[in-house]
Amino acid sequence: MRKNDKIFIAGHRGMVGSAIWSALHAKGYTNLVGRNSLELDLRNQLAVSDFFSEEKPAVVIDAAARVGGILANNNNPFQFLMENMQIQNNLIDSSLKADVQKFIFLGSSCIYPKLAPQPLKEEYLLTGPLEPTNEWYAIAKITGVKACEAIRKQFGKDYISLMPTNLYGPNDNFDLTTSHVLPAMMRKFHEAKLAGERNGTTCSEPVKLWGSGSPMREFLFVEDLADAVVFALENEFKEYLYNIGTGTDLSIKELAELIQKTVGHTGDINWDSTKPDGTPRKLMDVTKMQQAGWKAKIGLEDGIKRTYEWFLKNQETFKEVKI
């Protein structure tokens, strides 16, 4: 890669895209291109095709997606399936037609079967049923992975897919109806803490959380993912699919207690076992990426602290997604 090669980052305003933009800028890449959703609707095939004809990027990083937690996926299956397929299909097809040599597709660990052996290896893809609460998003992402694999096989281009585990960090979505578990917990604990203070008590208001707290989850700070993308950009990988994670996990209950401690919430945690837990465990096998030469650097406790510091500074403007 040359520092002045034109790099189009789709979704550059989101949590992942903005972290990638910052990481590339810090490494001296000077020709970064981004468009917000008003400037370029990635669901519009003609608009995307015209953009590629005009801009002629050398590299495309697909960090654009419609995302959300269990509730958002359950309530909007068609949008999560169709819009994600439209976005990625337009980007991948236009990249091929524009002779883009390097394409990095970002997906999610939810592409793997619900009851696949742990930790999740890349070869487990398409070996069993998906988790029902997010299968629509997962199916869309699987088609993107396979499209990139097909292009590698048929046209010999360096198109690869990186599958990160659960992400969190600055610029996350903290909307309680559409966010993922970590930012949703952070906001709930913060608001319960403030409610207790407003009531003049020494104890925070109780917080109700979904499920039993027993599922195991792995979390990756978004700046680590951005670092992995830069690594993938600067190196040629032999295979089409690589997991990106820390290789360690913890229970949702342990996560809640860690966020509670970071926020300074002192009330009770009440678990609503009538709500779904989702997949029992979802830990990534990151052996392939480590063998390639990359490893996560930021620990969960430090990452949560940095995320909460960002949250406190951006409460009036942090991202909320309305469906």
The encoded tokens of residue 52 equal 């590629």
The encoded tokens of residue 94 equal 């236009």
258 is in an annotated binding site: no
Cβ atoms within 10 Å, residue 99? 11
164 is in an annotated binding site: yes
Q: Is 282 helix (H, G, I), strand (E, B) or coil?
A: strand
165 is in an annotated binding site: yes
Distance of alpha carbon 177 from alpha carbon 188, whole angstroms = 12
264 is in an annotated binding site: no
Angle separating helix axes 135-155 and 77-97, nearest 10 degrees: 10
5 is in an annotated binding site: no
Q: Which residue has the tokens 């926020």?
A: 263
217 is in an annotated binding site: yes
251 is in an annotated binding site: no
Active site residues: 137
How, if at all, do strands 102-106 and 59-62 pair? parallel
76 is in an annotated binding site: no
84 is in an annotated binding site: no
Mark 286-318 as b/e (b = at least 16 C-beta within 10 Å).
bebbeebebebebebeebbebbbeebeeeeeeb
156 is in an annotated binding site: no
188 is in an annotated binding site: yes
Nearest to 224 by CA among 140, 298, 142: 298
DSSP secondary structure of 201-269: -SSPPPEEEES-S--EE-EEEHHHHHHHHHHHHHS--SSSEEEES-S--EEHHHHHHHHHHHHT--S-E
Distance of alpha carbon 80 from alpha carbon 65, whole angstroms = 9
14 is in an annotated binding site: yes
Torsion of CA 35, 39, 40, 43, to 10 degrees: 120
163 is in an annotated binding site: no
Distance of alpha carbon 323 from alpha carbon 313, whole angstroms = 25
210 is in an annotated binding site: yes
141 is in an annotated binding site: yes
107 is in an annotated binding site: yes
Q: Residue by residue, what is the 3-state secondary structure of 13-40?
A: CCHHHHHHHHHHHHCCCCCEECCCCCCC
The encoded tokens of residue 154 equal 């048929």
2 is in an annotated binding site: no
214 is in an annotated binding site: no
Q: Which residue ranges are tagged as binding site?
A: 11-17, 106-109, 141, 164-167, 180, 188, 210, 217, 277
Q: Which residue ranges are tagged as binding site for NADP(+)?
A: 11-17, 106-109, 141, 164-167, 180
Q: Which residue ranges are tagged as binding site for substrate?
A: 188, 210, 217, 277
